[in-house]
A and B are shown apart, each in its own frame.
Chain A
Amino acid sequence: MSLAVFQHVLSRLVTSPPFRAQVAESPAEALAPFDLTGRERGRLEAITRDSGLRTGTMIHRSFRLSMLTNTLPCTCKALGAEGIKEIVHAYWLEQPSRSLLYVQEGLRFGAWALPRLRQGLGGIGGNPLLPEVLEAEVAMLELSRQEIWDTPPPPPQETGDTLEGLVPRLHPYLRVIRFRRDPDVVMRELGAGRMPEGLPEGEHYLLVRSTAPGKVDFGQAPPEAGRVLYACAGEVPPGPFDEEGEERVREMVEEGFLVLVRG
């Protein structure tokens, strides 16, 4: 059914300014690959010249951007207008809009952007706040999803006399993000629309936890506890622990921050 092809091409004219430019410059060549009727080709050529098409693009992009500003507000503030232009536009060109679901889109952008920011994408990647802020907001989004509670949380565990053969891992409803600057100040300032400046570097750990379906709490952990939790979240299981370390692990298991799994 060529109506389907027509709709695909029309949608691409809206979502891709480079494609629109190609069609505007050489309509016969740009539309040749598509199985369209003569009337459909004529319509698409006319629409390409219609100034309203740019309005469609603006609305489409506004909608996509609103999904990110709603779900990742601190990240968008930290990016600023130039960062959005560089990073978000690059994301849009690589990753078409798939869903009206704000959380899904925020997570999708986070998965795409985080490794690039850690590698320093362009000049904006040099903003030291960005990867940590994005990681924190992605954690909040992940844990805000009701469906994670489809898998019931592990029951409280008793630690017994020994941890031998057991490996402590982060509770599945918990995330720990290492910050180089105080996350309370960073997130508060960005949330208020201000770029934090002049913050001293240090060792900070932000904990994000799902406490009920759709409910998320977050707060800082003391560095000693944060270090242990961060290690337990890593790909390489931590250990062995000295006596003090083992005692700390036991406390965290009993408080529900860690779970013990067979090594």
Chain B
Amino acid sequence: MRDNLTAPSSSSSSLDHRGDRLSSLPRLGVGLSYQGTLRDFVLEHPQSYDFLEIIPDMFWVDRGPAAPEAQPRYLESVDAPDLLGRVRDLGKPLIGHSIGLSIGSAELFDPAHVEQVASWQRRYGFPWHSDHLSFNRLEEHTGESLDIGFTMPVPYDEEVLEMLASRVEHVQSRNPAPFLLENNVYYFRIPEQDLSEAEFLNRLTARTGCGLLLDLHNVHVNATNHGFDPWEFLGDLDLTRVVEIHLGGGFSLDGVYLDAHSGPCPDEVWKLLREVLPKAPNVKGVVFEVFGGYFQGMGAEGVIGELAKAREIFATAGPAA
């Protein structure tokens, strides 16, 4: 059943405040998503990127809620301060893109993870931070957790919207930096959803004031695999909520195009970037993602090339500085 409510009026003072909050973020430029195998590249080629997006969960071991009281739950990597300090010394801002919140898990929401990310935001000054609009963790009746290992889709239903709105508000109450949610990739469809993906994202961002991390490769993957024009989604999306854009590459396997972060962006994604940027006045950063295992195949020159192309498009089609 489609919702009869119209989008909340943008004239309310709280929403104006939230909109101003996104528009007043610093324009960072083009960034790179950090993976361990990129360590030398990041330190040796600082001129090729403007900021570094880190997955903070990579830098700690979460011993879980059952960790002994005498020991800290999060065991942080001894290497993290050196590496991240060196990146900051190079003048590169850091932003956090977590994978551990699993905000869409119906029975599981971990305030400790929210606090841990907030502590890193205080330490490293992320101008904004983000996570995925999905679930990957579940709790068994034994109390043990399951982790599927990839971002599972949530139904775009009113019930889920309510659940996520309260969780986003909790995150925002604990972390002063703006919070973004990333649109998901889905290889199977959940039928008879209350809302379209765009409607769901619009309602969620309007209600909570959170921003969007628009992964254009995810849009391309979904459009390719499910046979729709990406602008059927993008045209309905409130692009003023987009603060960050993700780019990446993939490959086809057995007739399915995969979001593999495996190499250069396909032409269709570059085209989407050129078309989206003029319509997204609050985009502050564009990030190229490649998984560590594929970096060798691309090589430093390949990554530099992708970042340079993103910079050229961001400079010419992006919001004015």
Contacts from A to B (Cβ < 8 Å) = 1, 3-4, 6-8, 10-11, 14-15, 39, 42-43, 46-47, 50-53, 55-56, 58-60, 63-64, 66, 96-101, 103, 145-147, 150, 213-214
Complex Cα gap A17–B73 (Å):
35
Question: What is the distance, in angstroms, from B154's C-beta to the closest C-beta of chain A?
Answer: 8
Supposing A39-B192, A101-B61, A146-B75 touch, asked if A7 and B138 sit within 8 A by C-beta, the answer is yes
Q: Which of B112-120, B141-149, B308-316 contacts A (4 or more CB under 8 A)?
A: B141-149
Chain A, interface SS category: helix
Report whether A7 and B135 are in contact in the complex, using a CB–CB cutoff of 8 Å.
yes
Complex Cα gap A66–B62 (Å):
20
Complex partner residue of B79 from A1, A150, A214, CB under 8 angstroms? A214
Report whether B186 and A52 are in contact in the complex, using a CB–CB cutoff of 8 Å.
yes
Q: Mark B211-224, 1 if CB is under 8 A from A, else 0.
A: 00000000000000
Report whether A14 and B152 are in contact in the complex, using a CB–CB cutoff of 8 Å.
yes
Q: How many inter-chain contacts with C-beta < 8 Å in the A-B complex?
A: 106
Residue of B nearest to A45 (CB): B191
Complex Cα gap A59–B150 (Å):
7
Give me 7 A-to-B residue pairs in the complex whose CB atoms sit less than 8 angstroms apart, sorted by A's number.
A7-B135, A56-B187, A63-B149, A97-B149, A100-B57, A100-B149, A146-B61
| Any A CB within 8 A of the CB of B71 | yes
Contacts from B to A (Cβ < 8 Å) = 57, 61-63, 71, 75, 77-79, 99-100, 105-107, 135-136, 138, 144-150, 152, 155, 159-160, 163, 186-192, 225, 253, 256, 258, 293
Supposing A43-B190, A52-B186 touch, asked if A14 and B159 sit within 8 A by C-beta, the answer is no
Residue of A nearest to B188 (CB): A52
Question: What is the distance, in angstroms, from A114's C-beta to the closest C-beta of chain B?
Answer: 22
Residue of A nearest to B189 (CB): A50
Report whether B152 and A10 are in contact in the complex, using a CB–CB cutoff of 8 Å.
yes
Report whether A56 and B189 are in contact in the complex, using a CB–CB cutoff of 8 Å.
no
Complex partner residue of A15 from B78, B148, B189, B225, CB under 8 angstroms? B148
Give the most central of A7, A47, A214: most B CB within 10 Å: A7
Complex Cα gap A63–B256 (Å):
17
Report whether B191 and A43 are in contact in the complex, using a CB–CB cutoff of 8 Å.
yes
Report whether B187 and A7 are in contact in the complex, using a CB–CB cutoff of 8 Å.
no
Supposing A1-B107, A52-B256 touch, asked if A97 and B187 sit within 8 A by C-beta, the answer is no
Complex partner residue of A55 from B63, B99, B135, B188, CB under 8 angstroms? B188
Complex Cα gap A4–B135 (Å):
11
Residue of A nearest to B159 (CB): A3
Residue of B nearest to A59 (CB): B150
Supposing A60-B148, A147-B61, A214-B79 touch, asked if A100 and B99 sit within 8 A by C-beta, the answer is yes
A98 surroundings in chain B (CB, below 8 A): 144-147
B149 surroundings in chain A (CB, below 8 A): 59-60, 63-64, 97, 100
Complex Cα gap A131–B297 (Å):
33
Complex Cα gap A150–B258 (Å):
41
Report whether A101 and B62 are in contact in the complex, using a CB–CB cutoff of 8 Å.
yes
B190 surroundings in chain A (CB, below 8 A): 43, 47
Report whether A1 and B148 are in contact in the complex, using a CB–CB cutoff of 8 Å.
no
Complex Cα gap A6–B107 (Å):
11
Report whether B188 and A50 are in contact in the complex, using a CB–CB cutoff of 8 Å.
yes
Question: What is the distance, in angstroms, from B292's C-beta to the closest C-beta of chain A?
Answer: 10
Report whether B105 and A7 are in contact in the complex, using a CB–CB cutoff of 8 Å.
yes
Residue of A nearest to B186 (CB): A52
> Which 10 residue pairs across A and B have the least CB separation, nearest first?
A52-B188, A63-B149, A52-B187, A4-B106, A55-B187, A50-B188, A3-B106, A4-B107, A46-B191, A53-B188
A97 surroundings in chain B (CB, below 8 A): 146-149
Report whether A147 and B188 are in contact in the complex, using a CB–CB cutoff of 8 Å.
no
Give the most central of B78, B100, B225, B253: most A CB within 10 Å: B78
Residue of A nearest to B255 (CB): A51
Complex partner residue of B138 from A11, A43, A99, A213, CB under 8 angstroms? A11
Report whether A42 and B192 are in contact in the complex, using a CB–CB cutoff of 8 Å.
yes
- Apart from A43-B190, A47-B188, A56-B152, list 20 A-B contacts with CB within 8 A: A3-B155, A4-B138, A6-B155, A7-B105, A10-B152, A11-B152, A14-B152, A15-B148, A43-B191, A47-B191, A52-B186, A98-B144, A100-B149, A146-B61, A146-B78, A147-B63, A147-B71, A147-B75, A150-B71, A214-B77
Complex Cα gap A66–B294 (Å):
13
A58 surroundings in chain B (CB, below 8 A): 253
